[in-house]
Structure 1
């Protein structure tokens, strides 16, 4: 299908997938994010698209489950004529051989996108994630007085080195991914971007001729994305290409291929910018236990709060929490529901906990449709959005860097058009939840 979307992305969680959706939409590309490989009917409803995405919970899956989910998605992207498939991972690359294996994703998808180059883009400067000489760094929490936050090597990052499911214990992404089935990775360090024309191509060809299974590209600043984007665009023209990385992959590709005048972006028929804005209270569910989310909860003064112990979310307690939340929403109050700060996520049955929280979100939305909902936490977001029963998201605007406001598309009238914000645990400033109450968005 030569007239189909040129760019496809598969998000290993929902929060990151909406960030990629936002970057492509803001660059002027008609983009839609689906929850499953899209049907012909859904594509017809969306109208002409330049880019399509599929959001998943792959980062919380074992390799066999990942393969089962990725095979039909890879086949569908290839059938639609996608030239470059972006396997979208978290900008911190947190994953392991047992959970969210990036190597397992590459081995599954590469058969559909047989280009000999498999670029892995490290770093997303807009989120203060940097890759230098193959090593990944990430900023910590903001400091008082507006000073720039400290930057840590990822294996010494105060949060990511202690992640409850996939702690980052190695900063060199080549070694980190070697354990996941990508040995002998090549490296293009940042110095090659400032060399003479043709030098970068020669370096990449050398890595391919050395039979590297994948090639890691440093990214220290946004300017480094332009030469990477040109390389992606050129190499994917002849043979469909699989690329791995955070939303910086989409940024790089957009730099090389964006419409001549992206300000004249023509919305698709279901674009989120169309139609009246909903009114009513805001509902937030915070399942993340990150320090950044903790500070945002503490600063959320415009909400009635409901604290839950997810380990105790059984049939009986679910009704009690549900009644409290719905009663507050019906009285017009904004509601912030959050998991107990003392909850030991590492020792709990993780899937059971996230599914229970997702069921609670679904029942709140069914009982009392809020005008806007926000779900904080990568895995919590993935399970909760799947539980809602919609089929896609389109872009409305940005709340903060790395966090998009979207509109839910569903066949159920009560859900269709609801505004939804998915926030990773580390994303957003201290006043993030307060900013959700604004009628407009900060794009």
Structure 2
């Protein structure tokens, strides 16, 4: 890698869509950033120069604890070798996790082992995404980049019914205490209203008692303060390990801009209308459901993946070939296509999928991880075959849990942001050698991102920011 600068931050995201969210905040802050799908080899890094930040889009959100430990120890050691100032384990802004799957406590324990810091900071709040933390409790707006209502997390219409990690607890300390034995402290909203030195003094007091410290945040102007407080605890020459949402990138970006280390980027290239466009959706969010229904009302075509496709490898391949043909035929007609696994949480296929795996004797946690893995494979391979026959210039992948699997099936090795479209879901350029996806525009969105016009607006190249 032809890198002459210090790497300010290297992050590991627990899924793909969430990782592009972090990529966006760093890019908008003026940090030249590339997001990889695996910890990058030196050979791959040779394709990029003068990077300020590096990301890795992982899949730990859908992994069991033993899988996570094996993956993260290796990944953290690789990122540590790049000698960055900060290492960030990036999680969803709704703190999606459980003791048995996507366990954030495991990630914290791995980070403590590799980086040997005095404490681990956690910042989940991201006010500009509609994520607010008050006295340790998380609140989330219904729909990122929208004007939806704000709910306490355990009462959020979408998150309390999440198919992989449903939320039943809004107090982040209580939620995390089920995933780690480490002691947990908090810098709360009252603390953040005090002068910098008093906040730093409170943090030092918390570090004396706790090895993990959460930070509240309600307003954007607090992010810069949090970034400064955390950055000031860094020991020179030693990477500091943080956990949290893309609020971490926002906090450091705002602080580094204030210090003149980065210069905020405000101008981007314009996006053109691209017809046809392909959407791959593994999301069961009611927000994505509204987006699918609206797109269909505006001329998009749908191809529905059925549970029958999961029956056996041979049957799965037959269905994939059928989906490829259906997608290709629509694309040849100039029709944008949505290949989907469900339209909202009430879709019959959601229960059918769960029943299918239960009949195979799988437990709840295995069902959750297998659902993302199996549907991710079908989505990705169906698209790959169709795109080899009928190329497109713009692709959208929806659904955090399946996105990492879909991207890998498509052969994507890395992405770089080219323009903002919706907060938390930038338009990117794919780096995917020997794949029909190479160099095309790719947008990755979590289930909570956008309003009902999302897919239609993206097809037109409309920017909402």
- TM-score w.r.t. the length of structure 2 is 0.87
Matched, 1:223 2:221: yes
Give yes or no for contact 2:97–2:165 (8 Å, CA) kept in 1: yes
1:422 match: secondary structure: strand
Aligned partner of 2:283 in structure 1 is 288
Residue 424 (structure 1) aligned to one of 426, 441, 446: 446
For residue 75 of structure 1, what is the aligned residue in structure 2? 77
**d(CA) in 2 for partners of 1:361, 1:161:** 31
Of 281, 298, 304, 2:301 maps to 304
Aligned equivalents of 1:69 and 1:261: distance in 2?
A: 31
C-alpha distance in 2 between matches for 1:261 and 1:10: 21
2:196 partner SS: coil
Query: In the aligned structure 2, how far is the partner of 1:2 from the partner of 1:228?
Result: 28
Change (3 A) 1:134 1:118: same
Deviations 1:293-314 (A, max 9, x none): 1111111013122222144252
Which stretch of structure 1 is more off in the superposition, 117-126 or 313-322? Answer: 313-322
Aligned length: 432
Aligned partners of 2:306 and 2:341 also within 8 Å: yes
Residue pair 1:361, 1:384 contacting (<8 A) in 2 also: no
Question: Any conservation in 1 of the 2:384–2:436 contact (CA below 8 Å)?
Answer: no
- Are the equivalent residues in 2 in contact too, given 1:136–1:171 (CA < 8 A)? yes
Shift of 1:69: 1.5
Q: Distance in 2 between matches of 1:19 and 1:281?
A: 25
Structure-2 separation of matches of 1:419 and 1:310:
30
**Cα RMSD between the aligned structures?**
2.4
In structure 1, what is the Cα distance between the partners aligned to 2:379 and 2:277? 18
Shift in Å at residue 109 of structure 1? 2.0
Q: Indicate if the aligned counterparts of 2:5 and 2:51 stay in contact, CA closer than 8 A.
A: no
Quote the residue 2:411 is aligned against. 389
Alignment of 1:156-171 (within 5 A): 156-171=155-170
Displacement of 1:155: 1.0
Superposition pairs for residues 91-240 of structure 1, below 5 Å?
91-140=93-142, 148-210=147-209, 212-238=210-236, 239-240=238-239
**TM-score, normalised relative to structure 1:** 0.91
Give 3-state SS (helix, strand or coil) of 1:437's partner.
helix
Larger mean CA deviation between 39-48 and 213-222 belongs to 39-48
Task: Select 1:342's aligned residue among 345, 348, 351.
Answer: 348
SS at match of 2:190: helix
Q: Any unmatched runs of 5+ in structure 1?
A: 267-271
Q: Equivalent residue for 1:16?
A: 18
Inter-partner Cα distance in structure 1 for 2:266 and 2:44: 21
Counterpart of 2:395 in structure 1 is: 373
Q: Give the drift of 1:208.
A: 1.2
Distance verdict in 2 for CA 1:421–1:311, change over 3 Å: farther
Q: How far apart are residue 64 of structure 1 and its match?
A: 1.1
Task: Give the aligned partner of residue 455 of structure 2.
Answer: 433
CA gap 1:273/1:85 in 2 versus in 1, 3 angstroms: farther
1:36: Cα distance to partner? 0.7
Partners of 1:330 and 1:277 in 2: CA distance: 20
Q: What corresponds to 2:361 in structure 1? A: none
Match of 1:318 in 2: 320
Structure 1 residues 434 and 396 mapped into 2: Cα distance closer, same or farther (>3 Å)?
A: same
Partner SS state of residue 235, structure 1: coil
CA deviations 1:250-277 (Å, max 9, x no partner) are 00001111346725799xxxxx969x98
Q: Which residue of 1 aligns with 2:313?
A: none
Gaps of 5+ in 2: 311-315, 358-366
Aligned-partner Cα distance in 1 for 2:112–2:191: 26
Q: Distance in 1 between matches of 2:23 and 2:43?
A: 21
Partner of 2:37: 35
298-307 vs 30-39, greater mean Cα deviation = 298-307
Partner of 2:362: none
Which range moves more in the overlay, 52-61 or 39-48?
Answer: 39-48
Cα 1:182/1:427, change in 2 over 3 Å: farther
Cα-to-partner distance string for 1:92-117 (whole Å, 9 max, x where unaligned)? 00100110000101111223322212
Specify whether residues 264 and 436 from structure 1 end up closer, same or farther in structure 2 by C-alpha distance, changes over 3 A only: closer
Contact between 2:28 and 2:265, CA under 8 Å: does it hold in 1? Answer: no
- 1:414 deviates by 3.4
CA separation in 2, counterparts of 1:264 and 1:299?
Answer: 33
